[in-house]
A and B are shown apart, each in its own frame.
Chain A
Amino acid sequence: NAGVTQTPKFQVLKTGQSMTLQCAQDMNHNSMYWYRQDPGMGLRLIYYSASEGTTDKGEVPNGYNVSRLNKREFSLRLESAAPSQTSVYFCASSESTGGSGNTIYFGEGSWLTVV
């Protein structure tokens, strides 16, 4: 009954360090997403993958890269972390991006602090 699992849950980075957030889903979903959540800003889409083998930029992609490793896994990489990337990151998945009524399923979040 795992759903969407993301790691790590908490991380502190120094400015300039790199790290990768891992995400996996066990619902056989085609589409996966990375969002960031900041106070007063709601959820903003960083990148998404409509299907295995494809990735597209969302609203705030600068400073991030993604890899859709296989159908289950979608990772987010910060190459050179900046304090502005301090945020809560959510991975999510859905059956596809081909239907307007599709439900998005979220992981529990990763709290990242860049000092």
Chain B
Amino acid sequence: GNSVTQMEGPVTLSEEAFLTINCTYTATGYPSLFWYVQYPGEGLQLLLKATKADDKGSNKGFEATYRKETTSFHLEKGSVQVSDSAVYFCALSEKPGGSYIPTFGRGTSLIVHP
């Protein structure tokens, strides 16, 4: 079945550092890929997405490229801020049983220090 594997957290960085959060996936076909972010005490919200191979999703300085050859969708940001501290979830959406139901990774906590 479908699955998403994210790097273990927490990831702890100083402000302005470069961020990479790794995400790899297993799927039978051609899924769409997403990154969601969860700020403390809130629900998840979409950060970015890519719907086909080689697409790059971007938002708020974050970006991720859909790499079919390596089945990866790594999240990057060139210079993190304290306000980026949150839990980041990688997800895919495919249609194994007739409906596109997203599958989420376990989440990676990011802590950014001033």
Contact = CB atoms under 8 A, between A and B. Distances in A.
B70 interface: no
Interface of A: 4, 33, 40-43, 45, 48, 50, 56, 58, 90, 92, 97-109
Contact of A100 (B32, B41, B45, B104): B32
A56 B45 CA distance: 24
Given A90-B44, A103-B34, A104-B102, 16 more contacts: A33-B101, A41-B106, A43-B44, A43-B107, A45-B101, A48-B101, A50-B99, A92-B44, A100-B51, A100-B95, A101-B51, A103-B46, A103-B49, A108-B41, A109-B41, A109-B42
Interface of B: 30-32, 34, 36, 41-46, 49, 51, 89, 93-95, 99-102, 104-107
Contact of B32 (A90, A101, A106): A101
Contacts of A50: 99
A41 to B, nearest CB: 6
24 contacts: A33-B101, A41-B106, A42-B104, A48-B99, A50-B99, A90-B44, A92-B43, A92-B44, A97-B99, A97-B100, A98-B100, A99-B100, A100-B32, A100-B51, A100-B93, A100-B95, A103-B34, A103-B49, A104-B36, A104-B46, A106-B45, A108-B43, A109-B41, A109-B43
Contacts of B41: 108-109
Contacts, number: 62
A102 B93 contact: yes
A42 B89 contact: yes
B7 to A, nearest CB: 13
A89 B71 CA distance: 30
Contact of B100 (A42, A43, A100): A100
Contacts of A42: 89, 104-107
Contacts of B43: 4, 90, 92, 106-109
A101 B42 contact: no
